[in-house]
Amino acid sequence: MTATVEEPGRRVPGLVPGRDPLRVGRFSGVWRPRTIVVMVATAAVLVVGAALNIGRGEFPIGVGDVLATLFGGGGPAEQFIVLDLRLPRTLTGALVGGALGVSGAILQALARNPLAAPDIIGITMGASAAAVGVIVLGSGAGAFAVIASSVGLPVAALLGGLVTATLIYLLAWRKGVQGFRLVLVGIGMNAILYALVNWLLIAAQVYEAARAQVWLNGSLNARGWEHVVPVGIALAILVPVALVLAHLLGALQYNDDTARSLGVRVDGARTALLAVAVGLAAIATASAGPIAFVALVSPQIAQRIVGSPRPPIGASLLIGATLVVLSDLLARTAFGSAELPVGVVTAVLGAPYLLYLLVRHGREARV
Amino acid sequence: MRSRRVTGLLLLAVLLVVVCLASIAIGAKAIPLDHVWSALFSPTGTEDDVVVRSLRIPRTVLGLLAGAALGLAGALMQGHTRNPLADPGLLGVNAGAAFLVVIGIHVFGISSLTGYVWFAFAGALAASVAVFLLGSTGRAGATPVTLAVAGAAVSALLFGLTSAVILTDVRTLDAYRFWNVGSLAGREPAIAAQVAPFLLVGVLIALATAPALNALSLGDDVAKSLGHSVTRTRVLGVIAITLLAGSATAACGPIAFLGLIVPHVVRSFTGPDHRWLLPASALSGAVLLLTADVVGRVVARPGELQVGIVLALIGAPFFIALVRRKRLAQL
């Protein structure tokens, strides 16, 4: 090792063919300018989209004024409208989107399958089944109704998601966790829960079914600071953990023996990563309902723009957040007075973009 | 291996006969087997004969057709995308069918099951053609990954549009939520007759491409070097899947999960050879769908539980138990 390599924070060209290493103290990584450019650009789009979304409403505020107010300027009226009334909605959307993006990125990398996402392995459906149960059965009579209405939708959804995830994990455990088996068990669980939800929808009165349908599409309506705080705390804890654990995903791409010989405790690493992904997905679903497709599409878009070998966590976070905020903006503006649930629009907005990337690159992207 | 396959197929055939008889005998009105027999071969116009000939048999035939189609389509789909998580719906078949059915209800005020059939079928066809074209635009043509991702994206897009319609129109939601669970109940004999020709063509194409699909599972390059045309096999596969899954969905509504689990179950005794896997998947699909239908008639007397719901409730635990086994047959 030459002296230049030891120098902290210094880029050293040429040690890895085609990739420049970056070292800071004991830590080292690969210098990927494209990732950074993508992340900065996405963050810029996110901020502008958020400002546009906050500015919209019965009392329109320009993007410049919104940004000024967010950074401490603006009059008392603007401060009240922006900070107290409108910011929580957009912030919830951004945080939920980010959580789903990271959750999807981890699951797709763990399962080595672009179709893996909390939506299809049952975690989101567990939360949905609990929530729909509360909506449909909560208005009836009997002990369940009392319990259901006192627990409240978000808590029920969170519990539903976590219980489902634990069940899937236990059922998939056979002297260790294997990504493939876990996903298949999750799909089985998803089918059971989906059938339950459908049965509840049929058993329900049509107006309860409609209310449940709104929740099932994911909505950001009437979100206040009390919705922002739990997601915010969860992200503040879990995302750094995910970023720290992310380097393990590289080793877990290989088969278990190779990963072990690279010094990774395979079961421990998988369990920790799964716990992070599940926690993020469950919290996100509890806050905004099962916003469809974000967890599946954000990592795929991120991977294709960044050009990385597996879904990148940081870029997935930003793209998930941006997708949800832009979808909310579209859901509120594009259909006149009718406001659609944001979950309807995420697919309508995200799917064509993913298809465009697919068509343009037109090459096999491996996960 | 060979004896296991033969035994498995024979067992499936026996099971199929048993389930068919059960499906004719069991229902809101239980009919003894000797009456079933006389209704089948020497009808005299008694009440039992009418129930058997005009209700139970059409329903059983529809279940047979749809189950076999979905099982076969699932095996084809997993073979072509080389993805164990793929189900027949992945080509956008269910999403396309659902979208056009909703349009049919919302715009044209269609409200009968026979009316839905053509909307569903057209939607399924259009969606899977779109998925295949989008998935095959790249230099490498339609690869497993691009097909899967394009299918997931198109499905999500169409489900989003479907949700947008049913959220703004409670009347459409009310009709749609019953179509959406998938059921064999209340289907007129005409519906099975409408879709049967498409289904038959689908089965023939599927079985004819089995050897080529075996070659494809070794990878596109190997398949090419073995003298198979990758593009032709894949186009034929997509046509077969669309015909099979599209007609099943058009006739019964979306029945999820069947096409996904059947190939996994069957692979445990046939192994990955598609020449065995495909017929066995068709038989298992029919057995499973009819079993779920019969159970659905029994558990919620005097009403019925829709077959899609029963299928998930009994099929999923079985599937999980299978997945937990020590050796998991990989694709």
Per-residue pLDDT, A356? 80
What order of strands is seen across the sheet that includes strand A10-11? Answer: A10-11, A20-24, A27-31
Its sign, for the CA torsion B218, B223, B228, B232, is: positive
Determine the pLDDT at residue A142. 57
The span from the CA of A188 to the CA of A194, in Å, is: 10
How many other C-beta atoms lie within 10 A of the C-beta of residue A257?
9
A359/B160 touch (CB, cutoff 8 Å), yes or no: no
Question: Which pLDDT belongs to residue A366?
Answer: 41
Q: What is the DSSP string of A56-82?
A: -SSS---HHHHHHHHTT-S-HHHHIII
Q: What is the b/e burial string over B53-92, where b = at least 16 CB atoms within 10 angstroms of the residue's CB?
A: bebbbbbbbbbbbbbbbbbbbbbbbbbbbbbbbbbbbbbb
Q: What is the pLDDT of residues B22-72, one digit of tens each?
A: 888 887 777 787 777 777 777 777 777 777 777 888 889 999 999 999 999
pLDDT of residue A323: 93
A336: number of CA atoms within 13 Å, CB side? 1
- B316 contacts A340? CB cut-off 8 A: no
Between the alpha carbon of residue B317 and those of residues A88, A127, A199, A218, B256, the distances in Å are 41, 19, 17, 28, 15
3-state secondary structure of B93: helix
Provide DSSP, B126-162. HHHHHHHHHHT-STT-S-HHHHHHHHHHHHHHHHHHH
* pLDDT at residue A9, rounded to an integer: 53
- Cα–Cα distance between A127 and B98 in angstroms, integer? 24
Chain B, 262 to 281: residues with Cβ < 8 Å from chain A are 264
Mutate which: B268, B299, B320, B325, vs A, most A CBs within 10 A? B320
Between CA B59 and CA B36 the distance in angstroms is: 15
- All residues of chain A having their beta carbon less than 8 Å from the beta carbon of residue B257 are 191
pLDDT at B283: 93
Look at residue A30 and tell me if it is in a domain: no
* A chain contacts of residue B90, beta-carbon cutoff 8 Å: 115
SS3 label, residue A23? strand
pLDDT along chain B (331 residues), means of 10: 82 91 81 78 78 82 92 90 76 86 85 80 88 76 73 86 82 79 77 86 92 84 84 88 88 84 85 88 93 87 80 82 65 50
- How far apart CA B16 and CA B23 sit, in angstroms, is 10
Nearest to B148 among A115, A210, A351 (CB): A115
Residue A147 lies inside a defined structural domain of this protein: yes
0.85 surpassed by complex ipTM: no
Domain count across chain A: 1
Number of other CB atoms surrounding residue A152 within 10 Å: 13
Of B252, B194, B189, B195, nearest to B53 (Cα)?
A: B189
Architecture, CATH, for domain B86-253:
Orthogonal Bundle (1.10)
Residues 6 or more apart whose Cβ sits within 8 Å of residue B296: B304, B305, B306, B307, B309, B310
Interface of A with B in 146-205 (CB under 8 A): 171-172, 174, 180-181, 183-185, 187-189, 191-192, 194-196, 198-199, 201-202
Paired strand residues for A27: A24
* CATH assignment at residue A198: 1.10.3470.10
Q: What is the pLDDT of residue A41?
A: 92
Roughly how many angstroms between the first and final C-alpha of chain A, as a whole number? 33
The reported pLDDT for the residue numbered B8 is 85
Residue A65 within any structural domain of the chain: no
Taking a C-beta distance cutoff of 8 angstroms, is the pair B273, B329 a contact? no
Put simply, whether B110 touches A (Cβ < 8 Å) is: no
CB distance from A357 to chain B under 8 Å? Answer: no
**Cross-chain Cβ contact A113/B173 below 8 Å:** no
A70 domain residue, yes or no: no
Name which of A192, A207, A354 is nearest B149 (Cβ-Cβ). Answer: A354
Q: Residue B200, class by beta-carbon neighbours within 10 Å (0-12 exposed, 13-18 middle, 19+ buried)? A: middle
Judge: B324–A171 Cβ closer than 8 Å, yes or no: yes
> Within a domain: residue A74?
no
Residues of chain A with pLDDT under 70: 1-19, 139-151, 177, 179, 336-337, 361-367
**Residue A96, CB half-sphere, CA atoms under 13 Å: how many?**
34
pLDDT of residue B281: 93
Q: Is residue A308 part of a domain?
A: yes
Nearest in space to A90 (alpha carbons), one of A197, A231, A210: A231
Domain with A140 in it: 91-361
Cβ <8 Å between A344 and B167? yes
Q: Which two tokens stand for residue B180?
A: 């959406």
